Amino acid sequence: MPILPPAPPRFSMITGLPSASPSGVLISRAAMSVPPPAGKHTIMVICRSGYSARAAEHVAPAAAIKIIAGSMRRRIRPARGRFDMGALLLGVFYCPMIMAAISAAVMRCAGAAGRTNQIAQGAMTNSFDTIIIGGGAAGCVLANRLSARSGAKVLLLEAGPDTPPGKEPADVLDTYATSYYNDAYFWPDLKVHWRRKDNSPPVHFSQGRIMGGGSSVMGMVAYRGTPDDYAEWEAHGAAGWGWADVLPYYRKLENELDFTGDLHGRDGPVPIRRTKPEDWAPLSKAVYAFAQERQIPFIADMNADFRDGYGAVPMSNWPQKRASAAICYLDAGVRARGNLTILNGATASGLVFEGRRVTGVSARIGGKAQEFYAREVILSAGGVHSPVFLLQSGIGSAGHLRDLVFVGLLQHRDARQAELVRPHPMTAFRYSSGLSGAPRTDMYINVQCKTSWSPLGFQVANLAPTLLKPMARGRISLLAGDAGRPCVEFNFAGHELDLKRFMQGFRRVVEILTHEKVRAMTGVTFPVKFTDRLRRLNRITTANKIQSAVIAAMIDLVPPLAGPIFSTLADRRVDLAALVEDDDALAEHIRQNVAGTFHPVGTCRMGAATDRDAVVDAAGRVRGIAGLRVVDASIMPTVPRGNTNIPTIMVAEKISAAMTDEARAAA
């Protein structure tokens, strides 16, 4: 069973509460507004200042691009039902980078893709050198780098819609993560348990199903992690993955816009930039005053200065548009290569075997089953779907295959617990808990000055304490009798040290909220629980927009109404002052409200040949199976201290370079 190594959980507070139990803070419009530079800004760690900018320019599509596009279902449904003020508020306040506009552009793109498929499919070959399953961040990198050799025929399969150059939907391009709330870009019906299945209900888990994967829908935070993370990888048996080994590939992917020197690259496809302190929102500046009074260092470049401190969050975007892996690695020039075939709307359904060698992939395209063959198949389906795909193909723990028809195929060594990373937030503190047994730089507090697309989202801030290095492990298994559905249990707060650090982080957030300058621009403080109800009410609908505008106007006109209105965001009224003084009550509050970010890792982790928990070797090759690699976040031995998009791109850059060298040597 894939085991999920420490998955970072979090809480969030509106109006200034921690992220171990989602909460929010009501802030004045003055605290939210900042003189907008070109486009939208991001403040500290994953924080955007709240300004959305549509892309000003697009890359013109090439006429001879070889793309076989599948059909895409229209999963967007009009909102129905009555107004639900409490639920709306819940949704509007909690998730920062969430505002999904269901644009006509998406549907136009889908329609065009379907027509292309009908024209081109008859002439398409079914034999390749390499097949890549999954057009996420890693898949886009692999498709680019491996097809750079003109003699290598490469097929990229993506289950979701494509985002061709010049035809990217507006919500994908937006520098605020508007696409996060467009259900058309996610796997439907993927549910997880934040803790275990016996003590927490299943909730929706957002995993991108679109060209670019998570890089097309996530918050664009561009952390690398710290050198300690990669020393940890090597200690887990991932030889050749230390800091000195991975740094060249971080430099290769980067177009660093703010800093120079040996630690950064300037010629890569992915722009990295930060918001200058003078452009921060007033609330972020007030939190910075808290940091200065406590002599917490300012970290200008969190990707090169690895001290604890408060700093600007590195972002992977341009001022006018998102920099997804699809945009950066699959531009018109790359797509015009005659040896690269991109097939979207194509859902891989299984592997083709000859004995213990993988020789191809079965896929469904437009409802039709097809097979494609290759000398090597690369699985890049992500931290949840890669291990599930292996299990469904008969590769994995025997104990979790006994109810599947594939059980006789092969008994692979345990692809046990996979590490689920929790997502990490906005303007931020990166710090060490200092607790016995905890590694350094194990904590993070996100300061988010805009929490939704709606008028109300401009009035609500969010502070969320996060565990960067959790101790608890989760797991992924297949549900008995249902080969297609995984059971994902993150087991957040399942380790005593994790719980203690959450409690510490929660109290730290409350301390920040009581600081004079922070208190001067905040109002009601309340905890928020991250639920499916919240997610539904954060969708962009006419009903939600009207409710949000009415509520925002009411609060502006009659500020005392804020308390009663926002109290509906919590399951019950919580006295925060009393809560932080009661260890038992705080611990239970955290257990009931902990939630994750959306960055699972370690489910197919790298390791030494003697390590029974290792699924792949240091080159991503699946142990015991020829012709199959896994290249995505699932092979990371442990979760890095930060979001996983940029580390995933690095992993794909490094392994694709090694594969290219191998191919040239063989030739």
Tell me which residue of 278, 270, 183, 264 sits closest to 221, measured CA to CA.
270
Please say whether the beta carbons of 593 and 527 come within 8 A: yes
CB neighbour list of residue 229: distance below 8 Å, 6 or more residues apart: 638, 639, 640, 641
**Burial (CB count <10 Å: 0-12, 13-18, 19+), residue 557:** exposed
C-alpha 153/C-alpha 146 separation (Å) is: 9
Q: What is the largest CA-CA distance in the chain?
A: 75
CB neighbour list of residue 29: distance below 8 Å, 6 or more residues apart: 458, 459, 556
- What residues pair up with 270 in beta bridges, in sequence order? 254
Q: Provide the terminal-to-terminal Cα distance of the chain, rounded to the nearest Å.
A: 39
Hey, is 69 helix, strand or coil? strand
C-alpha 580/C-alpha 108 separation (Å) is: 51
C-alpha 403/C-alpha 413 separation (Å) is: 18
Place of tokens 């509050």: 589
C-alpha 363/C-alpha 366 separation (Å) is: 10
C-alpha 321/C-alpha 165 separation (Å) is: 13
Tell me which residue of 591, 471, 463 sits closest to 527, measured CA to CA.
463
C-alpha 505/C-alpha 444 separation (Å) is: 8
**Residues composing the chain:** 667
- Give, in order, the Cα–Cα distances in Å from 339 to each of 129, 152, 376: 10, 6, 15
Tell me which residue of 603, 396, 400, 651 sits closest to 490, measured CA to CA.
603
Tell me which residue of 27, 22, 16, 19 sits closest to 456, measured CA to CA.
27
Exactly one of 236, 385, 515, 599 is catalytic; which is it? 599
Please say whether the beta carbons of 635 and 415 come within 8 A: no
Neighbours of 619 (CB within 10 A): 16
Neighbours of 320 (CB within 10 A): 16
Please say whether the beta carbons of 250 and 646 come within 8 A: yes
State residue 326 phi and psi, 5-degree precision. Answer: -65, -45
| Amino acid making up residue 183 | D
Check if 400 is active-site.
no
Over the range 140-169, which residues count as b (16 or more CB within 10 Å of their CB) and which as e? bbbbbbbbebeebbbbbbbbbbbbbbebbb
For helices 137-147 and 645-666, what crossing angle results, to 10°?
30
Q: Which residues have a catalytic role annotated?
A: 599
